[in-house]
Amino acid sequence: MVTLDNLTVSYRQHPALHHVNGQFAPGSLTAVMGPNGSGKSTLLKSIMALLPLSGGRVAVSTPRTRRAYLPQLAEIDRSFPIDVRDCVLLGCWPAVGAWGGVDAGLLARVTSALHSVGLEGFEHRPIGSLSSGQFQRVLFARVLVQDADLILLDEPFNAIDSKTTAALLTLIRQWHQQQRTVIAVLHDDLQVRQHFPQTLLLAREVVAWGDTAQVLTEPHLRQARTLAEAWDDAAEICNTDQRLTGKVAA
Ligand code: ADP
Ligand code: MG
The pLDDT profile of the chain, 250 residues, written as one tens digit per residue, is 899 999 999 998 889 999 999 999 999 999 999 999 999 999 999 999 999 999 999 999 999 889 999 998 777 778 888 999 999 988 777 666 655 667 788 889 999 999 999 999 999 999 999 998 899 999 999 999 999 999 999 999 987 889 889 989 999 999 999 999 999 999 999 999 999 999 999 999 999 999 999 999 999 999 999 999 888 654 555 554 444 433 333 3
| 23-55 residue pLDDT tens | 999 999 999 999 999 999 999 999 999 999 999
Q: How many domains does the chain contain in total? A: 2
108 and 92 in a common domain: yes
176 and 249 in a common domain: yes
Kindly give the distance from the C-alpha atom of residue 105 to the centroid of ligand 2, in angstroms, as a whole number.
35
Q: For residue 248, what pLDDT is reported?
A: 35
Q: Is residue 11 assigned to a domain?
A: yes
The Cα–Cα gap between 41 and 49 comes to 12
Report the alpha-carbon angle 53-56-59, nearest 5. 90
191 and 95 in a common domain: no
**Residue minimizing CA distance to atom 26 of ligand 1:** 11
45 Cβ below 6 A of ligand 1:
no
Please report, for the domain that includes residue 232, its CATH number.
3.40.50.300
237 and 154 in a common domain: yes
204 and 223 in a common domain: yes
Kindly give the distance from the C-alpha atom of residue 40 to the centroid of ligand 2, in angstroms, as a whole number.
5
Kindly give the distance from the C-alpha atom of residue 103 to the centroid of ligand 1, in angstroms, as a whole number.
39
Name, in order, each residue with C-beta under 8 angstroms of 53's C-beta and a sequence gap of 6 or more.
Answer: 7, 8, 9, 46
37 Cβ below 6 A of ligand 1:
yes
| Residue of 113, 121, 99 whose CA lies nearest to 147 | 113
| Residue of 231, 150, 198, 249 whose CA lies nearest to 33 | 198
41 Cβ below 6 A of ligand 1:
yes
239 and 172 in a common domain: yes
Report the alpha-carbon angle 143-85-80, nearest 5. 90
156 and 43 in a common domain: yes
Q: What is the CA radius of gyration of the chain?
A: 19
Domain that holds residue 102: 77-147
Q: Which of 10, 41, 183 to mutate to test the pocket of ligand 1 (most atoms within 8 A of CB)?
A: 41
242 and 176 in a common domain: yes
62 Cβ below 6 A of ligand 1:
no
34 and 13 in a common domain: yes
Q: Given 99, 117, 147, which residue is the final one in a domain? A: 147
Kindly give the distance from the C-alpha atom of residue 125 to the centroid of ligand 2, in angstroms, as a whole number.
28
Q: For residue 243, what pLDDT is reported?
A: 42
Q: List strands edge to edge, sheet with 150-154.
A: 67-70, 150-154, 181-185, 29-33, 198-203, 205-211
Q: Given 147, 181, 202, which residue is the final one in a domain? A: 147
130 and 110 in a common domain: yes
140 and 250 in a common domain: no
The pTM for the full model equals: 0.90
The Cα–Cα gap between 190 and 214 comes to 14
**Residue minimizing CA distance to atom 22 of ligand 1:** 11
